[in-house]
Structure 1
Amino acid sequence: MHEFWSAAIIGVSLGAQYALLALGFTLIFGILGVINFAHGGFYALGGYVAYSAVSGLGLPYPLAVLAAVLVTAALGYVYELFVIERFVDDHLATMMLTLGLYLMISTGLLAVFGPQSPEFSFPVKGSYSIGALRIAKENLVVLAVCGCAIGAIYWLIYRTDLGRALRALADDRQVATTQGMRPRLLFPLAFGLATGLAGLTGALVTPILALSPSAGDPVLVTSFLTVILGGLGSIAGATIAALIVGFIEAYASVYLGGSAGALVLFIMVLVILLARPTGLFGRQIRGA
């Protein structure tokens, strides 16, 4: 029974991590109509920025995480403003541009840091014991930070004027523009916010798992499947789907082996899409 509850705790922690990634992914699609294939690159970049801040600059880990968020958010803002914005209504062009950005990030990280994983460990060690149940402290810290970040995103989107403007653009860009919304200003903010979330997740998770230039590869696949499962463009769907994916991965790893989670997830996404092509909470894709 303790294995069951241990897997549940890991599942919640994984779900919170995937929720941050999926929220960023679905924000970009929901507001800009862009599928961001560079999302995994920003995840890896966030990990390397945090690592460099700790090992090179001697910053404490919380400040290193903040630096990772700021750098990835700034890069996303600038890339959207000067590159994506020019082709924002061309879905094929934006997919190629984000894929190209991912290749540039991963290749740049490989050139600067090399293929080997650097020594980058999470600063909080140990575990809590409740009977036979052991809870890793690092999982609790990641869960707490991710939970706060998710709460902050929901507050921003649903309780602020900026969030209302972003949702208006997502619902109907033409009508929102006639009401005074300015996509030229809001689109880079949305893109930067989303890439900052990816950077935050990378800075939190890569010290626990592994940091490498290709660390974003599985993240990109998992984020994409999570967003498809929840429904492209649905913030609530992305969050719920992320928790589902976290539990699938945790329980599949415990009871079926580490590689079974991806297979179970793929089968589940396939079955759901056959029954509901737009995902659990999705809407029709623009232009479809």
Structure 2
Amino acid sequence: MFSQTVLAQVIVNGIGLSSIYILVALGFTLLFGIMRVVNFAHGAFAMLGGYALYFVYGVWGVPYIIAAPAAALAVATSALVLERLVYRHFYQKMFQSMIGLLGLDMVLMFTAVLLWNAHERSVPPAISDILQIGGVIIPADKLLIAAVAMATLLAFYLFTHYTRYGLAMRAAAQDVEIAKAQGVNTATIYRLAFFIAIFMAALAGGFYAQTYALSPLMGERPLMMAFIVVILGGMGSIPGVALGGLLLGFSESFLSTFYGGSTSVFVSFGVVILLLIFRPWGLLGTPEE
């Protein structure tokens, strides 16, 4: 039944979902926008972020506000090895990266199965309190997740608009050859962009595992959500990711509440198919010449 209380609850849930989706999709579109890499292993890094948070916070007891960024930082730092051994060979090779990184995704996923088995685990909530405002139930845990995610997105915005390396990343995303001609060290920018992309994927993966469940197979849904968001907003468009994440998060919250999860998935992919037919460059993307 539609009511102000239910709609307010939908909005609160939509904010939490949108913040997670924007985080995971931002890293995905960052790699594509700068290096033209379609990172099919993105979901696997989100899964590793979930396990990192599980051990750092759930097992070792590090305070959550430290554990969440520290776990993502550990995954991103370790991933630099793969950047050197694997990713570097796929920069500016879009179609080759799709095949190669799909294989990497399988390797990471089944390595996790061998290490931690396929059973689902749960990441303890950061805060167990429940807030109730005018009939709207707000788990404090989800409120903290949304706050940390939004703080991360704000930090990323400030970095890309007001720092030298951030401006260089934006220049490389627009035209890498012109950026080279202007003296931008693209090798350094590639490593930095990769590190930031994996950090955000791992952070989002920790939030996702905490909200739902943790297993080696959990990376498939964050990857699927990242695809939907970047297709909605436009591949390589950072403002498009923000718009796509908001649209997906709020629509999923609304449709799941009133019509069920199956309807939500059906509508999401239906919109993606229509968009690919009539506007394949997305809502805020630009058609390639």
Q: Is the TM-score greater than 0.5?
A: yes
Q: Which residue of 1 aligns with 2:183?
A: 180
Which of 52, 58, 61 aligns to 2:61? It is: 58
Task: Find the counterpart in structure 2 of residue 18 from structure 1.
Answer: 21
Structure 2 equivalent of residue 254 of structure 1: 257
Q: Distance in 1 between matches of 2:126 and 2:18?
A: 22
Letter in 1 for 2:73: L
Amino acid at match of 1:189: L
- Partner SS state of residue 214, structure 2: coil
Q: How many residues align?
A: 286
Q: Tell me, which stretches of 5 or more residues in structure 2 are unaligned?
A: none
CA-to-partner distance for each residue in 1:12-63, whole Å, 9 max, x for gaps? 1101110101111111111111111111111110010111223443322233
The Cα of 1:76 is off from its aligned counterpart by 3.2
Aligned sequence identity (%): 35
| Aligned-pair CA distance for 1:214 | 0.6
How many Å separate the matches in 2 of 1:284 and 1:63? 42
Decide whether aligned partners of structure 1 residues 134 and 63 sit closer, same or farther in structure 2, where only a CA change above 3 A counts.
same
Q: Following TM superposition, by how much is the alpha carbon of 1:271 offset from its aligned partner in structure 2, in angstroms?
A: 2.3
Paired letter, 1:82: L
Cα distance in 1 for residues equivalent to 2:146 and 2:64: 16
- Work out whether residues 234 and 282 of structure 1, in 8 Å CA contact, stay in contact via their aligned partners in 2: yes
Deviating runs (4+, > 6 A) in structure 1? none
- Output the CA distance in 1 between the equivalents of 2:73 and 2:40: 20
1:30 paired residue among 29, 33, 37: 33
The one of 144, 149, 154 aligned to 1:151: 154
**Cα distance in 2 for residues equivalent to 1:197 and 1:216:** 14
Structure 1: runs of 5 or more not aligned: none
Query: Which amino acid in the other structure matches residue 10 of structure 1?
Result: N
Contact 1:85/1:184 (<8 A) preserved:
no
Matched with 2:167 is: 164
Structure 1 Cα separation of the partners of residues 197 and 41 of structure 2? 11
In structure 2, C-alpha distance between the alignment counterparts of 1:74 and 1:7, rounded to whole Å: 36
Given that 1:78 and 1:188 are in contact with CA atoms closer than 8 Å, whether structure 2 keeps it comes out as no
> Which of 230, 242, 246 is matched with 1:243 structurally?
246
**In the alignment, residue 153 of structure 1 is paired with which amino acid?**
F
- Cα distance, 1:97 vs. partner? 2.4
Equivalent residue of 2:29, what SS?
helix
265, 268, 271: which is aligned to 1:265?
268
Question: Is contact 1:121-1:208 (8 Å) kept?
Answer: no
Q: Which amino acid aligns with 2:55?
A: S
Does residue 75 (structure 1) correspond to residue 81 (structure 2)? The answer is: no
Q: What is the alpha-carbon root mean square deviation over aligned residues? A: 1.5
Q: In 2, distance between residues paired with 1:201 and 1:140?
A: 14
TM-score relative to the length of structure 1? 0.94
Aligned-partner Cα distance in 2 for 1:223–1:119: 23
Note the C-alpha offset of 1:230.
0.3
Indicate if the aligned counterparts of 2:36 and 2:94 stay in contact, CA closer than 8 A. Answer: yes
Query: Is the CA contact 2:240–2:283 (under 8 Å) kept in the aligned structure 1?
Result: yes
- Matching residue within 104, 124, 129 for 1:126: 129
Q: CA deviation at 1:221?
A: 0.7
SS at structure 1 position matched to 2:138: strand
Contact 1:110 1:213 in 2 (8 A): yes
The secondary structure found in structure 1 opposite 2:74 is helix
What is the deviation of 1:196? Answer: 0.5
Normalised by the size of structure 2, how large is the TM-score? Answer: 0.94
Residue 89 of structure 2: which of 80, 83, 86 is its match?
86
